[in-house]
Structure formats: C-alpha cells, structure tokens
Amino acid sequence: MEFEKSSIERLKRTLYSRNENIVPKEKRTPVSERKTDVSTDWGTTPSFNILDNDMPKRNNSFFNKFLIGSFIFFFIALAIATFIFFGGMNMISSNNLDIKIVAPSSVSSGEELVIGLSIINGNRTDLEQVALFIDYPEGALSVLENKPLSREKIDLSTIPSGGSKDHTVRIILSGEKEAIKSFNFRIEYKVKGSNAVFSKEKPYDVIISSSPIILDVSYPKEINSGQEITLSIGVVSNSSVVMKNSLIKVEYPYGFTYKDSNIKPLQNNSIWNIGDLKNGDKKILTITGILVGQNLEDRTFNISAGTQKPGAIADFDVALATNVATIGIRKSFFDLNIISDSVAVMGRLVPITIKWQNILPDKILNTRIVATISGNIFDRSTVRVNDGGFYRSTDDTIFWDKNSTGDLLSISPGDSGEVSFSISSLPNSIQTRSIKNPHIDINIKSTGDRSGTETGAVSSDENITIKFPSILTFTTRTFRTIGPFSNTGPIPPRADKESTYTITWTLTNTNNDLKDTMVTAVLPPGVDWKNETSPLGERLSFNSETRALSWEVGNVSLGTGFTYSPKEVSFKVGITPSISQIGSVPDLLSSLNVVATDTYTETQLTPEVQSANTQYSDPDYKNNDSVVVK
C-alpha cells in the first residue's frame, strides 16, 4: 500500500521537488470545548511540625563518655609531668646541679685573688665527662706563669650522684679603682647512655677596691693660645708587689706640639717606660710643649698608666690608672693689643703702643710687662721708652712693673691702660744692603698674680714683626757716543733736523725679592721710535698707536746691582725739534713710571724717576749741547 497519504511525505516531496505543486492545507478535525472549574484560593495551610515522638531515637552516651575521659586523662598527665619536672623528681636536671663560689666581693688591683669553686651534683645519676670552662675578665694574670688569661678549661672527670668536686682559681687581677671585673663559670657534662651535652653557667663579679698606681697630674688650668705649657705627671706605687716595667701613655689633644720631656720617650713622644715601682715609690714625668687653639676652647690630655705587656715593648694590656688634664684656652688674660705699623721705612723711628685690659673676673696684682726686641736690622741706639719703662740693653728688653708704673700694682676687673716706646732700623747704607728680608721682632709678655677663687700666676703673650721693604732704584741716562747704537744728527739739536739718542734704563734692588716689575713711558710728539733695543732678550715693546713704551722686567732678585749685575736695557729714539722748541731742552720721554711688588712685605714699590731729555751723559758733553738751536 502506498504511503502517499502521509502529510510528512507530502511535505518532504514538496521541499525537494521542482515541479511538485504546493500541497494544499489539510483539513483538521475540530476539537470540542471543555469547561473546567479552577479553585480561586490555596485552601488550608498544611503544618510541617514534627513531633519528637515521630523522630527515631539514637544512643550517643558512649561518645560523650569517651570525650570526657580523654580530657581527664590529659589533665592528669599534664599535672604529673609538671610535678615531676618542677618538683625535681626527674633523674637529670640542671636545677639539681649547683656551682658554689667562695670569693671576696672586692680585691686590690695587682694582688692575688683566690676563688673557691664547688660543683655539687644533686641528680639521681652520675655526671660524666664533666668540664669546667672559665672566662676571665681583662687584666687577669696567671700567678705561676705571669701571663694574661682569657679562657681556661678544667677536666673534672665524673661527679657521682649526690657528690661534688672542688676547684681553686688563683690569679692576679689588675684594673682601675672601682672597676667591675666579671667572670663566667660554665659546667658541661654528659650522662650515661646519652650523647647529649648538658651545661650550666654562673657569673661572678668582683670590684677593684684600689689601684696599684696613683696618678697625680699638675698643669695650668688656663693658658693663652700658643703658650708653652708643662704637664707634671706624678706616679706613685700603691701595690704590695713590684710593678715591673711601668709605662705611662699620654694622648695629646689637637693643637699640641711636643717639645721635650725629662724621660726619653719609647715611641711617638707619647709613651714612657719609668721602670719598676715598689710599694711607695714615686716618679715624676714632665712633658713640655706648645698648645694652640681658639678662644674659649678646651683641650684634654688623656693619661694612663700600666705595666708592660709581654712581648710588646711600648704597650700594656690594661690601664691600671687613668687621669685627664683639661686646659682652657683664652685669648688673653690681659687682652694685650700692640699698635704699630707692620711695614716701616728703613731708618725712620717706629712708635709702638701696648694696650692692656684685665678681662678676668678677679683682680690681678703685681703686673709686669716685658718687651723683648730682636731682628736683623734693629738699631739698639734708637730705643726710646715712655711711661716709666726701662730699656735693659744687655738683653734688649724693656720692662714696666709696679715700681715704675703705678697702674700695674693692682688691676681690677675691666681696668685698662697702656705703655709705649719707639725703635728704629739701621739706616740705609752699604751695610744694610746685604741683609735679606730685614725685620724687627717684638715679643710682649704680661704676667701677674691672680687673686680670688682661682689664685695663681697668669700671663699673656703677643708678638709683632715689623718688616722693611726693599729699596728699588731706577735711573734713566741718555747717550750719544756711548752704548750699543750709533747715533746721528746735529749736536746741539737743530730745529727741523733729526738727532738720535740712546736711552738706558737701569734697575737695582737691595734686600727683598721683587716680582711683577714694570717700567712704562710715553714718547712725546716729535720723538720717533727707532726699533733698536739691547739686549734683544729683554721684553721691551712699543705701541705705535698709543706711543707707549713698556719694559716687562718681571722678577728682580735681592742684591741686583750690588751682589749681582743690575737689570738694564737700552733703546734708540730720534727727535726732530720744532722751531717752537728753540732755546729749550726737550724731553725724549714723558709719563715715566716704575712699579714692583715686594715679595717679603707684600707691598708695592714705586721709586722716584727722572725723565730723559737731550742732555746726555757722555764725557765730552758740554754746556748747551742739549739746547735746541735754529
């Protein structure tokens, strides 16, 4: 039977066929309508409560009992363990091991210290391979070998249960007074059947009751900057044993310069060996030097003493005594002020005024002012003293004191005053030309007795140097027939006719080296530069636009023209006088100037100069040979 009636087949055939006609809609059988009643509310709300009687019952009593029993067992075990551990009932515990120390709480430095140790085993088992370790403090020495100790190990073998072992430590302990020296004792041990190492430590401190060496330092409490000072260090032995090869070490402050000491230093001028010291022995070391600093600054010297370290020539293990010396630097107790020229002219009188003022809060008594004069050009015969002072020519000092100047008897705080004098250098002569860097030095020192809370001698120093500049001489000479050039033209010079001349410049210098030396001039109208110079090596130049002539001399050594040849240069010029100059002696140079710098006095020198004209210096020169004629 053919299955063409199926709607699906027909639809399929229609979809896949090009010629198939569209399948017409199949008529469907109508469905009859059915009415259904639907409720408009939810009705009564159901209850979900479940009664206990409806639930199945389960038995948990076993688990609860097990949990409670576990907690009870844990707390009982913890209580037993705590009781055993803290109650000492365990077999091995460091709490059952004790280190008893029998020793003094203080000891004198340098004396023998005896420490008794007792190691007590309170455990219920023996302690095996017991070792005692001792850490010694700095300054501990072996009594027998007299060598430093740092750490030591002592084998104590076995300590039975309930037994003990004793050990005695004998050492010499050194250190400063009231220094605390700390020991540490440690016990290491094992127990049978275990490779574990147990330990226990116990410290011990001892105080150094007295130092074996006492340092007594004397020094000035206040000084002026640059003043010489002396430190006096007294060393006294306070030990019953001999302090062998005692050393003193001094650390200098900044600004101190060592000069001398009464004992030869071992090293760096700061370490001295003062030898062996027996009980009660005293030795004194004095150190002299110069201390420099700013006003109101303090400088501190650190002084220490000890015994020579084995194997070290100039060092010690530990300081047995220390001390400090602090010195205050003050500008001036008298606030000295010297008023004078720092550069003076040779041969002229130089006035000098010394002003002073007491800047201390205390009165100064019996003041004495001393001026000491020295120098390589000081003329002793020119000293003039004012204000009651006296010049003592035997040592070239001028002094004022309470006998000559009443103001110096007692100077109250804030009081001031002054004294004066005058000096001179040797006159400029052949004798002074050979003196290099001439100067006069003056040292002013004021001393007195300070009264009040801090009594003692006080002093102030001031210095001044008066320098004298070199004498630079410059000459200008004109020649016709003398010199390196041949000259032409009429003599005397004739108007509208050129005459040539040789000009020579010469420099001499006496005492100090000169630098930046320069000679300049200008050629006036009618004078022509001939571009001839001698010697050729001199730096002589001419500017044709400004008509300026320059000689760059540079450095001129002292003694030039005396010990050495003078500095000299020659050049040639020509002049064509105008008729307006007839009857006159015309200049060949104008605006002549010489300048140099004195390297010693750092001043500028400008010597007198003479202009060059047609009056020349040849031997055959006759009067009126320099006057222009018609």
**Per-residue pLDDT reduced to its tens digit, 217-226:** 998 888 877 7
Phi, psi of 53 (to 5 degrees): -70, -20
Domains in the chain, number: 4
The verdict on 169 and 229 lying in the same domain is no
| Distance, CA of 158 to CA of 137 (rounded, Å) | 28
Which of 24-38, 78-92, 496-510 is the most confident on average? 496-510
| Lowest-pLDDT range of 59-63, 350-354, 468-472 | 59-63
Provide the percentage of residues in the chain whose pLDDT is more than 70: 87
pLDDT value at 571 more than 70: yes
Confidence of residue 80 (pLDDT cuts 50, 70, 90): low
Determine contact, residues 299/327, Cβ cutoff 8 Å: yes
Any domain includes 73: no
* pLDDT, greater one: 310 or 233: 233
pLDDT value at 416 more than 60: yes
pLDDT value at 432 more than 50: yes
Where is the domain boundary, 210, 245, 270?
210
Which element (helix H / strand E) includes 80? helix 61-86
pLDDT value at 58 more than 80: no
Q: How much is the pLDDT for 208?
A: 86
pLDDT value at 45 more than 70: no
| Cα angle for residues 258, 263, 266 (degrees, 5° grid) | 75
| Cα angle for residues 475, 565, 506 (degrees, 5° grid) | 15
For residues 412-441, give the mean pLDDT.
Answer: 90
For residues 63-90, give the mean pLDDT.
Answer: 67
Determine contact, residues 364/411, Cβ cutoff 8 Å: yes
The verdict on 502 and 544 lying in the same domain is yes
pLDDT value at 12 more than 80: no
Enclosing domain of residue 227: 213-330
Determine contact, residues 376/429, Cβ cutoff 8 Å: no
Determine contact, residues 300/293, Cβ cutoff 8 Å: no
Q: How much is the pLDDT for 89?
A: 46
The number of C-alpha atoms within 13 Å of 623 and in the hemisphere containing its C-beta is 0
What region, left, alpha or beta, does residue 610 occupy, with left being phi > 0 and alpha being psi -120 to 50 degrees? beta
Any domain includes 53: no
> Which of 206, 246, 241 has its CA nearest to residue 113?
206
Any domain includes 113: yes
With b for 16 or more beta-carbon neighbours within 10 A and e for fewer, the 452-488 pattern comes to eeeeeebbbbbebebbbbbbbebebbbbbebbebebe
The number of C-alpha atoms within 13 Å of 625 and in the hemisphere containing its C-beta is 15
pLDDT value at 87 more than 60: no
Residue 82 neighbours by CB under 8 Å, 6+ apart: none
DSSP state of 76: H
Q: How much is the pLDDT for 1?
A: 43
Q: How much is the pLDDT for 46?
A: 56
CATH code for the domain in which residue 261 is found: 2.60.40.1510
| Distance, CA of 226 to CA of 540 (rounded, Å) | 50
The verdict on 452 and 476 lying in the same domain is no
Q: Residue 450 CB: number of other CB atoms within 10 A?
A: 19
DSSP 310-374: TT-TT-BSS-SEEEEEEEEEES-SS--EEE--SB--TTSEEEEEEEEE--SSS-EEEEEEEEEEE
The verdict on 463 and 342 lying in the same domain is yes
Residue-wise pLDDT for 252-301, tens only, equals: 999 999 999 999 998 889 999 988 888 888 899 999 999 988 878 899 99
The verdict on 130 and 154 lying in the same domain is yes
Q: How much is the pLDDT for 353?
A: 96
| Lowest-pLDDT range of 238-242, 460-464, 602-606 | 238-242
Q: How much is the pLDDT for 59?
A: 52
Any domain includes 66: no
The verdict on 250 and 223 lying in the same domain is yes
Q: How much is the pLDDT for 88?
A: 46
Residue type at 570 in one-letter notation:
S
The verdict on 524 and 586 lying in the same domain is yes
Any domain includes 173: yes
The verdict on 481 and 594 lying in the same domain is yes
Residue 585 neighbours by CB under 8 Å, 6+ apart: 613, 614, 615, 626, 627, 628
Confidence of residue 397 (pLDDT cuts 50, 70, 90): very high
The verdict on 317 and 364 lying in the same domain is no
Any domain includes 308: yes
Q: How much is the pLDDT for 212?
A: 81
Residue-wise pLDDT for 112-125, tens only, equals: 889 999 999 988 88
pLDDT value at 609 more than 90: yes
DSSP 159-219: E-TT-EEEEEEEEEE---TT-EEEEEEEEEEE-TT----EEEEEEEEEEEEE-SEEEEEE-
| Distance, CA of 78 to CA of 33 (rounded, Å) | 87
Q: Residue 356 CB: number of other CB atoms within 10 A?
A: 26
Q: How much is the pLDDT for 326?
A: 93
Any domain includes 420: yes
**pTM for the whole thing?**
0.57
Confidence of residue 244 (pLDDT cuts 50, 70, 90): confident
CATH code for the domain in which residue 491 is found: 2.60.40.1170
| Distance, CA of 130 to CA of 166 (rounded, Å) | 12
Where is the domain boundary, 210, 240, 259?
210
For the four alpha carbons of 376, 380, 386 and 392, in that order, the dihedral sign comes to positive
What is the pLDDT of the chain when averaged over all its residues?
86
CATH code for the domain in which residue 165 is found: 2.60.40.10
For residues 548-568, give the mean pLDDT.
Answer: 95
Where is the domain boundary, 280, 305, 330?
330
pLDDT value at 343 more than 70: yes
Which element (helix H / strand E) includes 392? strand 390-392
Q: Residue 406 CB: number of other CB atoms within 10 A?
A: 10
Q: How much is the pLDDT for 74?
A: 81
The verdict on 445 and 570 lying in the same domain is no
The verdict on 166 and 125 lying in the same domain is yes
Q: How much is the pLDDT for 55?
A: 47
For residues 542-565, give the mean pLDDT.
Answer: 95
| Distance, CA of 534 to CA of 442 (rounded, Å) | 47
| Lowest-pLDDT range of 194-203, 236-245, 246-255 | 236-245
| Distance, CA of 309 to CA of 249 (rounded, Å) | 13
Provide the 3-class DSSP secondary structure of residue 549. Answer: strand
The verdict on 194 and 159 lying in the same domain is yes
| Lowest-pLDDT range of 184-193, 449-458, 466-475 | 449-458
Which element (helix H / strand E) includes 622? none
Any domain includes 612: no
The number of C-alpha atoms within 13 Å of 170 and in the hemisphere containing its C-beta is 5
Determine contact, residues 451/410, Cβ cutoff 8 Å: no
For residues 513-531, give the mean pLDDT.
Answer: 96
| Distance, CA of 251 to CA of 245 (rounded, Å) | 20
Q: What is the residue whose two structure tokens read 């639907």?
A: 38
Confidence of residue 2 (pLDDT cuts 50, 70, 90): very low
pLDDT value at 19 more than 90: no
Q: How much is the pLDDT for 389?
A: 94
| Lowest-pLDDT range of 13-27, 73-87, 302-316, 415-429 | 13-27
Provide the Cα torsion 509, 510, 514, 517; round to 10°: -20
